[in-house]
């Protein structure tokens, strides 16, 4: 043996190498085929990636275009909103300007009507001005006070004076001033003169002698004021300018007729005011002497109609006296002759059992009775006292000229007598006449010349040799 391979071994090796070569060739072919497929796959993937990037670029371009459009639309909307805002601001400003112009026009119209407008004068500023004015008064004029420190009065009641100076509107207001002792408001009392039937004769009645119908009074003021009618007083709540008014203040400390009426003292009223006895029939009148009380004068029949929820009751009463007071239930109507007095009120309780009955109260003529009776015997009575029945009084007849002359002259309406003088003459039994003409009727015609005297006289006053006085 030589150590070399035999033919068989060589053939076997050659076969193995051939198989290896063949495997390598197969592997090479497979690798070449796989590489081509991989390359193609890579190329496909690269193409796909390129397509994706191209699509992304297209999407980015679309998004950028959309973004530009959105931004452009946004800024356009912002510009429109800004324009709308500016337009609304201008419209609001124009509305306020128009409102201010309307307010100014309305304020000028209010000024033309004589009132102070709220649009021109600020409340707070006006209030500060009034406070400063009061401070000036306290420092320089302590005896004067501002009557109305509330600005409400000046807006509602004051009458401004206006004029123009260049481009300024000047408004002047009258601020009422008064002294400290007259600063409080006066209460207005209306006086109803009620004729009182005389117990001597039904053809005579007594009336209060007062030349005023209104009294202005305050319990904390030492002065009062009397007027013959509300027309002499300003319409409430105005103020009376004492510098121009004919009315005068009266001291309460000095006795006078208004003071006596406020005090309610009969003796003082008779002395300071006086009463006159008038010749004639008692006038037909109705006076309200309370919320539910009426005084009937020379009225015979009184018809009362009361209302309930489901019923209506009508009653007619005929009191015996010539003057009487009746208190009525709430929710009734009163009819007497030509007079109609409604007493219906929302405060009435209409859900009730109606029991309409007339309880007449009769007046007491204290004016006459105090002349013939001791005042201590009449202390239990007052002006509001009423009797439940008419009581006749036997008094001496008044010393008035006989009725024959009154009938001959058809009862002169102006004939009247002073109550105090007539009572005194009655006590003296001296006949009293209201005029010289009545004396002539008794002494007969002669050479006397008739004259109408403005006051009652008696035969004793004229004297025995009176011949009359030429007018």
What tens digit of pLDDT does each residue of 350-372 get?
555 666 667 788 888 887 777 77
Condensed to tens digits (0 to 9), the pLDDT of residues 239-281 reads 777 777 788 888 888 999 999 988 888 888 888 888 888 877 8
Q: Decide if 252 contacts 225 (C-beta within 8 A).
A: no
Q: Which residue has the higher pLDDT, 2 or 91?
A: 91
**What does the pLDDT average to over 328-346?**
77
Return the beta strands (E) in 138-213 as ranges.
144-146, 161-165, 168-172, 177-179, 187-190, 196-197, 204-208
Torsional sign, CA 148, 154, 156, 158: positive
Confidence of residue 455 (pLDDT cuts 50, 70, 90): very low
**Helix/strand/coil for 363:** coil
Sequence-ordered strand ranges (E) for 343-437: 360-362, 416-418, 432-433
CA 275, CA 277: separation in Å to the nearest integer?
Answer: 7
By the 8 A CB rule, do 341 and 322 touch?
A: no
- pLDDT surpassing 70 at residue 463: no
Spatial separation of the C-alpha atoms in residues 134 and 142, rounded to whole Å: 10
Mean pLDDT of 421-440: 53
Are the CB atoms for 195 and 283 separated by under 8 Å? yes
Look-up of token digits 């109550």 = 419
Peptide bond into 23 cis (omega under 30): no
12-26, 139-153, 371-385, 433-447: which is most confident: 139-153
pLDDT above 80 (res 437): no
Mean of the pLDDT values across residues 10-16?
Answer: 81
User: What's the mean pLDDT in 313-332?
Assistant: 78
Q: List, for residues 119-169, the tens digit of each pLDDT value.
A: 888 888 888 888 898 888 888 888 888 888 888 888 888 888 888 888 888
- In percent, the amount of the chain with pLDDT more than 90 equals 6
Query: What is the C-alpha to C-alpha distance for residues 326 and 315, in angstroms, rounded to an integer?
Result: 13
Q: For the chain, what percent of residues have pLDDT higher than 70?
A: 77
Closest to 188 (Cα-Cα) out of 150, 145, 231: 231
Tell me: pLDDT of 453 over 70. Answer: no
Lowest mean pLDDT among 62-76, 172-186, 298-312: 298-312
Better-scored residue on pLDDT, 411 or 323:
323
User: How high is the pLDDT of residue 164?
Assistant: 83
Burial label for 101, CB within 10 Å (0-12, 13-18, 19+), is: exposed
The average confidence (pLDDT) of the chain is: 76
Q: Are 454 and 431 in contact (CB under 8 A)?
A: no
What sign has the CA pseudo-torsion 153, 159, 161, 162?
positive
Q: Is residue 182 over pLDDT 50?
A: yes
Amino acid 238: pLDDT? 67
Closest CA to 277 of 371, 189, 212, 361: 371
Query: Which is more confidently placed, 312 or 273?
Result: 273
Q: Which parts of 266-355 are beta strand (E)?
A: 275-279, 285-288, 293-297, 302-307, 312-317, 323-327, 332-336, 339-342
Where does the pLDDT of residue 94 fall: very low under 50, low under 70, confident under 90, or very high at 90 and above?
very high
Alpha-carbon span 305 to 342, nearest angstrom: 10
Q: Which residue has the higher pLDDT, 422 or 68?
A: 68
Q: Where are the domains of the chain?
A: 123-182, 284-363, 403-462
**What is the pLDDT confidence band of residue 446, given thresholds at 50, 70 and 90?**
very low
pLDDT of residue 177: 85
Q: What is the pLDDT of residue 454?
A: 34
pLDDT at 21 over 70: yes
Residue 6, classified by CB atoms within 10 Å of its CB into exposed (0-12), middle (13-18) or buried (19+), is: exposed
What is the reported pLDDT for 428?
A: 62
pLDDT of residue 92: 92
Tell me the per-residue pLDDT of 389-412, one tens digit each, with 9 for 90 and over.
877 777 776 666 545 444 443 344
More confident residue, 241 or 106: 106
Judge whether residue 117 has pLDDT over 60: yes
Query: Per-residue confidence at 105, pLDDT binned at 50, 70, 90?
Result: confident
Average pLDDT over residues 102-128: 85
With a cut of 60, say whether residue 450 has pLDDT above it.
no
pLDDT at 102 over 80: yes
Whether this model's pTM surpasses 0.75: no
Name which residue leads in pLDDT, 438 or 355: 355
Mean per-residue pLDDT, 345-350 = 63
| Mean pLDDT within 304-316 | 74
């Amino acid at each position: 043996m030589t150590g070399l391979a035999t033919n068989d071994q060589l053939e076997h090796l050659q076969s193995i190498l051939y198989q290896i070569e063949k495997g390598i060739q197969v592997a090479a072919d497979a690798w070449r085929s796989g590489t081509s497929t991989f390359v193609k796959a890579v190329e496909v993937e690269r193409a796909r990636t390129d397509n994706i990037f191209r699509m992304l670029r297209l999407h980015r371009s679309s998004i950028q275009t959309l973004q530009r459009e959105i931004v452009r639309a946004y800024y356009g909307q912002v510009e429109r909103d800004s324009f709308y805002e500016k337009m609304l601001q201008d419209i609001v400003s124009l509305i306020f300007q128009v409102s201010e112009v309307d307010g100014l026009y309305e304020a000028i119209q209010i000024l033309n009507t004589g009132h102070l407008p709220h649009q021109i004068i600020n409340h707070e500023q006006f209030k500060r001005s009034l406070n400063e004015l009061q401070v000036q008064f306290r420092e320089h004029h302590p005896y004067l006070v501002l009557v109305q420190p509330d600005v409400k009065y000046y807006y509602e009641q004051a009458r401004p004076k206006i004029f123009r100076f260049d481009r300024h509107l000047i408004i002047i207001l009258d601020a009422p001033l008064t002294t400290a002792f007259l600063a409080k408001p006066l209460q207005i009392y209306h006086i109803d003169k009620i004729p009182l039937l005389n117990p001597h004769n039904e053809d005579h009645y007594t009336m209060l002698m007062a030349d005023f119908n209104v009294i202005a009074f305050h319990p904390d003021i030492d002065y009062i004021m009397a007027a013959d009618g509300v027309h002499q007083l300003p319409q409430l709540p105005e103020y009376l300018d004492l510098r121009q008014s004919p009315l005068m203040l009266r001291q309460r400390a000095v006795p006078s007729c208004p003071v006596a009426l406020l005090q309610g003292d009969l003796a003082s009223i008779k002395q300071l005011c006086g009463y006159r006895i008038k010749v004639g029939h008692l006038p037909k009148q109705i006076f309200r002497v309370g919320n539910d009380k009426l005084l009937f004068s020379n009225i015979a029949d009184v018809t009362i109609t009361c209302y309930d929820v489901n019923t209506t009751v009508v009653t007619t009463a005929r009191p015996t006296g010539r003057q009487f007071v009746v208190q009525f239930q709430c929710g009734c109507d009163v009819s007497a002759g030509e007079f109609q007095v409604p007493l219906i009120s929302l405060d009435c309780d209409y859900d009730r059992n109606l029991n309409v009955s007339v309880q007449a109260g009769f007046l007491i003529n204290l004016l006459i009775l105090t002349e013939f009776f001791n005042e201590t015997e009449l202390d239990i009575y007052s002006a509001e006292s009423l009797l439940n029945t008419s009581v006749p009084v036997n008094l001496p007849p008044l010393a008035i000229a006989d009725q024959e002359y009154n009938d001959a002259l058809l009862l002169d309406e102006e004939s009247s007598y002073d109550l105090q003088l007539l009572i005194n003459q009655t006590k003296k039994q001296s006949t009293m006449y209201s005029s010289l003409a009545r004396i002539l009727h008794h002494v007969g015609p002669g050479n006397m010349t008739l004259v109408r005297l403005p006051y009652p006289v008696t035969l004793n006053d004229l004297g025995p040799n009176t011949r009359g006085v030429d007018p």
